[in-house]
Amino acid sequence: MDKEQVRTIGLDQLPEERWATVAGVTVPALASDQVLVLRLLELGFVPGERVQVVREARTGRDPLAVRLGHTTFALRRHEAAFIQVITTA
Amino acid sequence: MSARQPQRIALLGNPNCGKTALFNLLTGSRQKVANYAGVTVERKEGVLLTANGRRVSVLDLPGAYSLNALSSDEAVTRDVITGHSKETLPDLLVCVADATNLRLHLRLVLEARQLGLPLVVVLNKMDRARQLGITINKDLLARELNLPVVGTVSLHVHGADELKAALDEPLREVPPAHWKQPGVEQVLATQRAVLGIFERTVSEPSIDKDPSIRIDRFLMHPVWGFVVLGLVLFATFLAVFSGGDVLSGWIEEGFGALAGMVEASMRDGMLRGLLVEGVIGGVGGVIVFLPQILILFLFILALEASGYLPRAAFLLDKPMSAAGLSGRSFIPLLSSFACAIPGIMATRTISHWRDRLTTILIAPLMACSARIPVYTLIVAALFPNDATSAALVMVGLYLLGIVAAMTVAWFIKRTDKEHARSPLLIELPAYQWPDVRSLVIGLWERAMIFLRRVGTIILALTIVMWALYTIPSPRTNDQGAQRSLAGELGHALHYVFAPIGFNEEISFALVPGMAAREVVVSALGTAYSMEGEEGDVDDQLRKRIADEWPLATKLSLLLWMVFAPQCLSTFVVVKRETGSWKQMWIMGGYLFGLAYLASFITYQLTNILSTP
């Protein structure tokens, strides 16, 4: 395993169909975004969980369909960017 | 010694945990749908019989991911179980979790545990969990949570027996507690606790190769996804129109036969006229559209239960954002094709207020099923022998409503100075077969709402209208013939509507149409059949419209029906949902303006173009 290949990126940067592990969330400055991030945590986007971008809309890569456990969530790119993931690509 | 047993329970759970199917299984037909005080979130209450035959009242709370409410649905749930509403606190909270998705649903259980209410945890969809190879150590879970845990299968008749037995147990003592809104650190701590419990009590196969991921990739494909969505919508409307036609034909024949029987067994006179033309003709003319409404609702309910509709919302998010909306508006707008009222009520899941308001304001532009009778009548009169053209014009009318709605949404967005980003965050739940019991109960509810309307408002209107047409006015018209009261009213209104080509009969028919659009047809029927013609009222009416109305009038009325603000129930629900008279008048005003403008242009332009 090449250690240098491990990177932490925003979930919005993750290519389709690749599993990654949630590293954490960034807490945003805007209060309206903080509410969103809290909800993302409640839905289970917490450190250690495995996620995959199943589909992204063609134009502007927005929204994204993200698989987490047994559920898929439709997220905006803006929302996905708050989730940091570790990928081994 | 006799410890207290639960009398009033409330079902709490995430959206998509199968809570409604469980509620339907527990209560069957013993349920009542109403609204919570002050808000239109549906309040579903029912009665169940426990294993020992005790009657317990059950409240089905709106689905909530968290007590940290983001939508008005979630706010209702939070207020009821934290004692901040007019509802009596339940004496037992039944927290329903999807056994196939405990990782997501356990968090709400842990949150509910802090409420200071006795709690029972229900693992729903146990059959499905077994099929997926998920094993749950229920006893260990109960010990870990320090709560009773029971399994249910809401699709099976005896699927709730374990829960019904648990409801005869005496209530546990719980120390009083108060729920406080958690911050990021508390949420993370709760999630760590959830993960710990999950890992100790549940084992499941890896989901990496889960076939539903492949299905998702196909159904949300940028090309194939839209092809499938187009086919689904096409099939839905095809079923509504072709399937509905067959069933409507039977109902029409039934009412025709009934009218014949009454005609044969009564002497000619006022009463016979009232029964045959007023009651049977008027009510029958509206009931024939019940099949179309129910078929549309059947498709919407089944598509929603299967998990497909949220995927469609994902696909349409981008196209709808061009109009300033998000994919979240898709399901409410689709429901509005059946009726704007459930559509407007479905907007309560839209957490962003501005988006929700826009969706409410444009929902009446979706061609609701009450418009079908009017469209059908006029289009058939336009193209008596050309079914293809008639069908194309019908499609055109639907599309016109959609285009107008998107344009209006775009204008509303331009007036929004803040340009706040609207969140999406929709759960696309696991696919599943719709539960037949819930579909039947859902359709039954819709049918009852419609029939109650027919039996009250519409019946009363048709009788009043019949009377207005029958009672002569003291004055005579230009030709010296006696005018009816309806004729007088139509004559007065026709000054307003003459510039858009409406004659006195149409002008009058629009008045009862405010209460229910479909009554426009029976009002016109009454207006023309009062002149003593025999035969099928519908055919007769179609023929008279085809022969007597100028082309410009027919087109103008079609355009009017696309835009005009109707019915009154829509006004009421807009007022209640937005809590604002102003928004209600804005909706009514802009729709009236659009309708008048569109009809005016159509009427005048057709007249200019058709004058040689």
SS (H, E, C) B231-298: HHHHHHHHHHHHHHHHHHHHHHHHHHHHHHHHHHHCCCCHHHHHHHHHHHHHHHHHHCCHHHHHHHHH
CA distance B220 to B367: 27
Beta bridge partners of B316: none
Chain B residues touching residue A72 (CB < 8 angstroms): 212-213, 216, 427-428
- The partner residues of B55 in beta bridges, in order of sequence, read B49
Residue B430, chain A, CB below 8 Å: the answer is yes
What sign results for the dihedral spanned by CA atoms B279, B282, B288, B289? negative
CA B351: distance to chain centroid? 18
Q: Which residues of A touch B327 (CB under 8 A)?
A: 63, 74
B423 touches A at CB < 8 Å: yes
CA distance B75 to chain A (A): 14
| Contact across the interface for A74 and B429, Cβ inside 8 Å | no
What's the half-sphere exposure (Cβ side, CA atoms, 13 Å) at B203? 2
Measured between beta carbons, the chain A residues lying within 8 angstroms of B101 are 69-71
- CA–CA gap between residue B156 and residue B301 (Å, rounded): 20
Residue A3 near chain B (CB below 8 Å):
no
Q: Which residues of chain B have pLDDT under 50?
A: 1, 532-534
User: CA B487, B489, B495: angle at the middle one, nearest 5?
Assistant: 100
Q: Which of B187, B423, B427 sits opposite A79 (nearest CB)?
A: B423
pLDDT in tens, B276-304: 777 887 777 778 778 888 888 899 889 98
B185 reaches A (C-beta below 8 A)? no
Cβ of B184 under 8 Å from any chain A Cβ?
Answer: yes
A65 close to B (CB below 8 A): yes
CA dist B351 and B335 (Å) reads: 18
B306 Cβ under 8 Å from any chain A Cβ: no
Asked if A9 reaches chain B (Cβ–Cβ under 8 Å), the answer is no
Residues of A numbered 68-87 whose beta carbons fall under 8 angstroms of chain B's beta carbons: which are they?
69-76, 78-79
pLDDT recorded at residue B105: 95
Contact list in B for residue A23 (CB cut-off 8 A) is none
Digit-coded pLDDT (tens) for B211-227: 889 999 999 999 999 99
pLDDT at A73: 95
pLDDT of residue A69 exceeding 60, the answer is yes
CA contacts within 13 A on the Cβ side of B336: 28
Interface test with B, best of A66, A72, A79 (most B CBs within 10 A): A72
CB contact under 8 A, B318 and A62: yes
Q: List, for residues B561-577, the tens digit of each pLDDT value.
A: 999 887 777 888 888 88
Region class of B536: left (phi > 0), else alpha (psi between -120 and 50), else beta: beta
Q: Would you call B66 an interface residue with chain A, using a CB distance cutoff of 8 Å?
A: yes
More confidently predicted of B162 and A5: B162
Average pLDDT over residues A53-79: 89
CA-based nearest residue in chain B for residue A76: B424
Cβ distance of B314 and A65 shorter than 8 Å: yes
Within 8 A of B220 by CB-CB distance, chain A residues are 54-55, 65
Q: Does B100 touch chain A (CB under 8 A)?
A: yes
DSSP assignments along B508-528, one per residue: HHHHHHTT-TTHHHHHHHHHH
Q: How far is B242 from chain A (nearest CA, A)?
A: 34
The complex's ipTM works out to 0.92
What is this structure's pTM?
A: 0.85
Structural domains of chain A, with CATH? 6-88 (2.30.30.90)
Q: Does A37 have pLDDT greater than 60? A: yes
- The chain A residue lying nearest B430, using CA atoms, is A71
A54 and B213 within 8 Å at the Cβ level: the answer is yes
